[in-house]
Amino acid sequence: MAKSTGRTDTADGTAVRPAFAARVKETLVRAAQEHSDTVALSSSKAGSKQPRRARLRLTRIDPVSVMKTSFLLSVAFGVVTVIAVLIVWTILGAAGLWDAVNTTVATVVTSGDQASTFDIRDYVGMGRVLGFTLVVAVIDVILLTAIATLVAFLYNMAAALLGGIEVTLADD
């Protein structure tokens, strides 16, 4: 659609702008025509509306952001692990498992009048188990953070050679 300049030429060649009301009317007519064209186009597509698709390629992952994210997730995993071990050990103690183990060992080990001094809590007490779990959780945080960062570097090198992972996103 050709756009009107909004000027008219007089006989002597000078351009005269039309009145303000005429310009407003022309603009409104043009806008109404564009709107009706858009509505007609969208109504013809309404029955066969296809979702928009975008094909994107993941070519680089920032190793620092991977390191930060993996650190936070592995710390959360470590905290969950320590709390889970604490809950399990508390439930086992409340259920009387440690006393039952001590009684069983005492009946097997002792002979005659000798009393057994064996106590399972000396070997797998709450303090020892939580300490070991805490050490494992700290090692887990360090290893998971280092491995995730290394994987990000390796992905960046592979993506530089191969082009990265292609992802197609669709708008429903």
Question: What pTM, to 2 d.p., does this model score?
Answer: 0.61
Q: Are 20 and 28 in contact (CB under 8 A)?
A: no
Q: Report pLDDT digits (tens) over 67-83.
A: 999 999 999 999 999 99
Predicted local distance difference test score (pLDDT) of residue 35: 75
Burial-class residue 52 by CB neighbours within 10 Å (0-12, 13-18, 19+).
exposed
Predicted local distance difference test score (pLDDT) of residue 14: 66
Confidence of residue 137 (pLDDT cuts 50, 70, 90): very high
Percent of the chain with pLDDT over 90: 41
Asked whether the predicted pLDDT for residue 105 surpasses 90, the reply is no
Residues paired with residue 56 on neighbouring β-strands, in sequence order: 167
Confidence of residue 18 (pLDDT cuts 50, 70, 90): low
Residue 113 phi/psi, 5-degree rounding, is -95, 0
Predicted local distance difference test score (pLDDT) of residue 44: 57
Q: Report pLDDT digits (tens) over 80-97.
A: 999 999 999 999 989 988
Residues paired with residue 16 on neighbouring β-strands, in sequence order: 8
Nearest partner of 66 among 147, 163, 161, judged by Cα? 147
Q: Report pLDDT digits (tens) over 53-72.
A: 888 899 999 999 999 999 99
100 to 91, 113, 115: CA distances (angstroms): 14, 20, 16
Predicted local distance difference test score (pLDDT) of residue 34: 79
Paired sense of beta strands 165-171 and 52-58, if any: antiparallel
Q: What average pLDDT score do residues 144-156 get?
A: 97
Asked whether the predicted pLDDT for residue 46 surpasses 70, the reply is no
Predicted local distance difference test score (pLDDT) of residue 70: 98
Strand spans (E) along the chain: 8-9, 15-16, 52-58, 165-171
Predicted local distance difference test score (pLDDT) of residue 69: 97
Q: What average pLDDT score do residues 117-143 get?
A: 91
